[in-house]
């Protein structure tokens, strides 16, 4: 099959079926999958990230999955650099890159690049980390809301890594990170891209999310988190503060009972899906596929 694009992108909210769709699409075009999920990059974090199974990864070659340990720093800039290398290599071999994932910032960084952010200042990072440890993420999020309301609205109050990074940028440059994003504009794509967005009616999507959480728990999410803690991974790590993992940590450490942990896990997955939908809906280049949108054909 021949088309006029450098890569295909499959995006959409959690639980919508991106993995299965992406594998089917990659098979149809003779492509390989480049993951675009900020959690599936971590080794040993499989169940809570809904990582493609060994069988799925054997069916189609996957890149950008299981590439760093949970305590290794990794951000959108690092993703863009490594994924760009993969995409260029695949293109050189005549293979179609099929980028699949729900982390909108990763996809945007790969397709459009990022603004020239200042490198992290280690002294400032230590100071902010100490404040985070003493005051908690909510306090730093409130501080960010005063300095950069647009960024604070976009960043979850529990996302300590992104809160700290946004505070670093505004402190070092004197300008909010949201202003840097506006100046960059993300208007000049580096590749010719066909972006396919998957959608479902909200009630149907939420029901799928609830079933997915039940499946994660049945498959052993709690034991996966216990194993990570036993291997010495700090529960304050960016990776351990993500969906599913922080909820299990809160249960293990007695801050939540089991029923509340499960209830909040499902609720936060639904909220995350809503934020993803808002992000991808803002991109006019996304071609939507599903019961609400037009059927997809090459």
Distance CA 258, CA 146 (A): 35
Cα torsion angle, 120, 189, 92, 104, sign: positive
Which helix (H) or strand (E) is 15 found in, with range?
none
Query: Closest Cα partner for 202 from 15, 11, 9?
Result: 15
Q: Is 19 annotated as a binding residue?
A: yes
- Give me the count of residues in the chain: 298
The tokens of 174 are what?
């004197």
Distance CA 177, CA 23 (A): 35
Q: Is 12 annotated as a binding residue?
A: yes
Helix or strand or coil: residue 198?
Answer: strand
Q: Is 15 annotated as a binding residue?
A: yes
Q: Is 173 annotated as a binding residue?
A: no
The tokens of 136 are what?
């908690």
Q: Which residues contact 86 (CB under 8 A, 6 or more apart)?
A: 34, 63, 64, 97
Q: Sheet containing 286-289: which strands, arranged edge to edge?
A: 62-63, 32-35, 97-100, 7-11, 193-198, 286-289
CA distances from 160 to 87, 102, 165, 237 (A): 30, 20, 9, 9
Distance CA 252, CA 263 (A): 15
Scanning 60-191, the segments in alpha helix (DSSP H) are: 76-92, 104-112, 122-135, 137-147, 149-154, 160-173, 177-184
Positions at the binding site: 12-19
Positions at the binding site for ATP: 12-19
Positions at the binding site for substrate: 14-19
């Amino acid at each position: 099959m021949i088309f006029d694009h450098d890569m295909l992108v499959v995006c959409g909210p959690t639980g919508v079926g991106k993995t299965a769709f992406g594998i089917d699409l990659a098979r149809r075009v003779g492509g390989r999958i480049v993951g675009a999920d900020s959690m599936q990059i971590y080794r040993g974090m499989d169940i809570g990230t809904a990582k493609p199974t060994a069988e799925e990864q054997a069916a189609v070659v996957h890149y950008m999955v299981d590439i760093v340990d949970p305590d290794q720093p990794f951000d959108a800039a690092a993703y863009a650099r490594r994924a760009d290398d993969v995409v260029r290599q695949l293109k050189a071999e005549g293979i179609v890159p099929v980028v699949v994932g729900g982390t909108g910032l990763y996809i945007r960084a790969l397709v459009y690049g990022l603004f020239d952010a200042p490198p992290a200042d280690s002294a400032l990072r230590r100071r902010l980390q100490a404040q985070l440890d003493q005051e908690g993420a909510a306090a730093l999020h409130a501080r960010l809301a005063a300095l950069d309301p647009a960024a604070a609205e976009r960043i979850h109050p529990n996302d300590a890594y992104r809160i700290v990074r946004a505070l670093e940028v505004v402190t070092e440059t004197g300008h909010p990170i949201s202003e840097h994003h506006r100046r960059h504009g993300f208007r000049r794509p580096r590749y010719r891209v066909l972006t396919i967005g998957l959608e479902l009616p909200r009630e149907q999507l939420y029901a799928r999310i609830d079933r997915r959480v039940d499946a994660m728990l049945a498959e052993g999410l709690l034991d996966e988190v216990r194993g990570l803690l036993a291997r010495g991974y700090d529960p304050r790590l960016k990776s351990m503060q993500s969906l599913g993992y922080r909820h299990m940590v809160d249960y293990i450490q007695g801050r939540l009972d089991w029923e509340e942990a499960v209830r909040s896990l499902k609720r936060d997955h639904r909220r995350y899906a809503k934020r993803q939908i808002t992000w991808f809906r803002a991109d006019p280049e996304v071609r939507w596929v599903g019961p609400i949108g037009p059927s997809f054909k090459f």
